[in-house]
Amino acid sequence: MGKLTHYDDSGHARMVDVSGKATTKRTARAHAFVRLGAEVVAQLPANPKGNPLEIARVAGILAAKKTAELIPLCHPLPITHADVEVQVEAEGVRIRSSVTTTAATGVEMEALTAVTVAALTLYDMTKALNKSVEIQDIYLVEKTGGKSGDYRREAQPGR
């Protein structure tokens, strides 16, 4: 395993200098699951606050674009594409994001931020129905491009 790049030799936090890295197309996809319970899932279409799925989806896209404002050492990136998909299942909502850039660093944090904020938005939109909502399984699915090459998460049983 390599050294953590967000620290200098004295152990102080720093923003990594990516000015010497090649500008290439980079993509990332991330995943989250919001366990709502069957009763809340059944009530999603009638939510008095509006369509929680669409609001969560748009919140995730906005979050991807604002990641550098939320994560202290992230680089602001020119996002060329961001999308969030929501899929209703029996016990909750599966959220997937995809983000693309042409830059000197990757968009993994943007993809992860997108699914996380979408999940938090879904919690906010449904908490009046059930405060036991759980946000689960936030992880990077894959990333492409950059010096470290491509990455794809191995399939996990039951996911």
Using CA atoms, how far residue 112 sits from 21, 62, 73, 94, 131, in Å, is 22, 12, 15, 14, 23
CA-based nearest residue to 152, from 27, 64, 60, 65:
27
Give the contacts of 150 (CB within 8 A, at least 6 positions apart): 142, 143, 144
CA-based nearest residue to 101, from 85, 82, 118:
82
CA distance linking residue 2 with residue 156, whole number of Å = 25
124 is catalytic: yes
What value, to the nearest 5°, has the Cα angle with vertex 91 and ends 50 and 159?
120
Structural contact between residues 58 and 117, judged by C-beta atoms closer than 8 angstroms: no
Out of 8, 124, 137, 150, which one is annotated catalytic?
124
Catalytic residues: 124
